Structure 1
Amino acid sequence: MNYLYLYAAIILAVIVLYSRRHVKKVETDKSQLRESIQGGMAEPPSLHPVFDPVRCIGSGSCATVCPEGAIGIVNGRGVLINASHCIGHGACLAACPHDAIKLVFGTEKRGIDIPHISGEFETNVPGIFIAGELGGMGLIRKAAEQGRQAINALRKRDGGQAEYDVVIVGCGPAGLSAGLSAMHHKLRYKLIEQEDSLGGTVYHYPRNKIAMTAPVVLDIVGTVKFGEVQKEKLLEFWLGVVEKTGLQISFHERMESIEKSGDGFVVQTNKGGYVTRSVLLSMGRRGTPRKLDVPGEDSPKVVYRLIDPEQYKGQSVLVVGGGDSALEAAIAIAEQDGTTVTLSYRSAAFSRVKPKNRTLLEQAEKAGRIQVLLNSGIKEILEKEVQLEQNGQLHTLANDAVIVCAGGLLPTPLLRKIGIDFETKFGTV
C-alpha cells in the first residue's frame, strides 16, 4: 500500500511540474504575441503557416521544430507569435500530427506578389523559368525538385546561337539542384550567387537548427535520404557535393538586369554580361541587401546579416540599422567576451521595434556594452577603422567588422520590367 502512495505522489509531482511549466510557456507565448502586435511586427514577410482551429489540438510539435521560435501555443492552438522571424521552410507543416497547418503567402492586410509560372516552371516570358522560394516554394525538398524539373523542361527548348544554354541565378536548394541537372544533361550553364556562400535561405538559419525534413532527389548524386538534419550538416553535405561533382559556382556575382536578345537573353551582372538561351531564377525572396554606397563597403569584413555572434569574440564591431534585426544583432554580439559594439542609426530614435529589444538595448547601453550613435551614418570603411558622421561631426572608430541590417531590395520590380506577370496573394496558397 505504501508503494501505491509513493507512486501516486511521484505521478502527482510530475503532473504539477508539467502544469507549471506549461502555464509558464503559455504566458511567455502570449507575451511574445502581444509584443509583436504592439511593435507592428505581426505580419509575416514570406511563406508562413496558418492554423486550422478545428484540426489543431495544441500539441506544440510545430513550435518545437520551428528554428526561429516563430510559433507558440496560445489559447490551446498554434499561432505565429513572432511572425517577422518566420522564413517559411515548412518544418512545422511536416511536424503537425493532425494536418492542421497549411503554408500561404500574404495576409488579409498585406499582399505578397507571386509570379505566374506554368507546370514546367516557365513564366509568361518564354525562356525565363522560376524555381524555389521566389516562385512560392520554401520547402527544401520541393524547391530542389523544381530546379531539377525546370532544367529538364528548358533543355528541350529550341534556340539560336548563344554562349550558354542556361544562366542560373541563385545558389539555394533550387539553384544547386538545377546546376547538377545542367551538368547531368551536359548543358552549357552559368550558376551565379550574389553572396559568398551557397545554401540560400538555409545559410541564414540559426545554428544547429533543423533544415530538412524529407529525402530529396538530385541529378548525378541520386536520392539523398535525409530525414531531419541540422543546418550545418546539410551545408557540409552540399559543399561536399560541389567538390565531388565539380559544380561551378560564381560567388559575389549579382544579377542586375535581363534583356531580350534574339532568341535568347543577355543576363547582366556586376561582373559582366552573358548571352543565354534560357534563364532560371532560383534566388530567394530576401532580395538583394540594401547597400550603404560608401567607400570600402566591398571589404570582406562587411556583411548584411548576423549568422553567428560567437565569431565576433574579442572584436570591435559596428552594426548599422534601426530595426529589430539590427538591435538583436548588436545585443547578441555584445554578450560575447571582449567585444566592443557600436550601433549606428541614421534617425533620431528607434521606431517599430519590439519593446523587449528596446529594453535590452537600453540595459546594454547603460552597462557600457553597446555604444549607440543616433543621427549618424557611415562615411568610409577602412581596413582597421570606420568613419562616421554624427550631427556634423566626424568620428573615427577602431573596427574589425561591419554588419549592415538595412533590409533588402526585392527582385519584383526587375522581374516586372522583364515582363513577368505576378499575382498578389492575400493569405492564399
Structure 2
Amino acid sequence: MKNLYDIIIVGGGPGGIASAVEASIFGLEKILFIEKGENHSQTIRQYYKDAKRVDKDWQGQSVDMEGNIEFFDGTKESTLEYFELLLDNENIDTVFNCEVDRVVKENDLFTVTTPQGSFTAKNVIVSIGRMGKPNKPSYKIPPSLKQVVNFNPYECRGREKILVVGGGDSAVEYACQLSCDNNVTLSYRRESFNRINDINLEMVERYDQEERLRVRYGIDIDSIENEKGKVKVNYNNGFYTIYDRVIYALGGTTPVDFFRKSNMVLDEHDLPVINEKFETSVKGLYIAGDIVYKSGGSIAMAINHAYHILQDITGEKGGLA
C-alpha cells in the first residue's frame, strides 16, 4: 500500500512535533505530520508575546525530560527555532493548512479524513490543543470594542485599567502578570476558586492581600457596552464599571465532536479515556499534549508523552538514537 503510513500525527504543537521526531528516532519510516494552521506551533506564534519567556518547568512544576528530545528554558523565538530544527527531518512528511475531520479505524488500519483527502496509517497520535478556540461569553461583544476586548493579554499597552474575567489558571496568570504595570481587577462568578492549581491559588491570594490587584468574587456580568471607546461592564447586581480593556480567560473548547466522530470513549469532562501509555479506547489511537489533562499541561509534559507513546507502539525501551 503506497500511501500507508506507519504513523500519522494530528496537531502541530510541541506534542505533535515531539511525536514525529520520536517516531523517526524509534525507526518508523513513513511518518505524516498534519497541522490545521499554516505552520507548526500556532498557539505559541499567536498567543505568546514577542520575547516572552518559555520555561521548561511551567508554573514551578519540575519535569524531568525522559525521551530523546531535550527541552530547556528559552524565549518564544528560540523555542520556535528549536522546533523548526527538530522538524528538519527527511523522514517526516508535513501537510499544513489541513484540518482533520475524524480518525476512524477499520480492519486494523486508520483512515484520517481531511478536506485534502484521506490518509491511511497503522497508528495515529492526536495532539491538538484547546487555546485555538477560546470560549466566549454568552452575551454579545460589540464589534466596535474588538480592539479592547481580548482573549489573551498581549495587546495590553501598560497603564490601563483592565478587567480579567475567569476563574481558571489562565485568568489568574493573566491578572497577576498584568498587575505589574496596570490597574487590574479579576472577576470570577463563583464565591471562591475551585479549579486552579495550588501555586496560582497562593499567588492570587497574596496579590489580592497586598493590593497589587483586586479580586471580585460571586458576581457575574450581564452585558458590555461601548462607552466612548472604553468598555462599560454591567454587572448582575445592578452596578457597572468602565475599563480601558477587558480580557476573557474562560478556557478553551475541547474538540468533543472530533473525539466522538473518532469513536473514542470520553470521561465526565469530555476528554478521551486513556491508559498509562496515553492510548485511547481505540487500540492504536493515542493522545498527547494538554488534552490529556482537565486543566492543561506543559510543553515538557507533552514532549514526554510522545516518548512513552512511541515506546508503546514499537515495544522499544529507548529508541535508536
Q: TM-score, normalised by structure 2?
A: 0.49
Higher relative contact order (CA 8 A, sep 6+): 2
Structure possessing the higher radius of gyration over alpha carbons: 1
Q: TM-score, normalised by structure 1?
A: 0.39
Greater share of residues in helix: 1
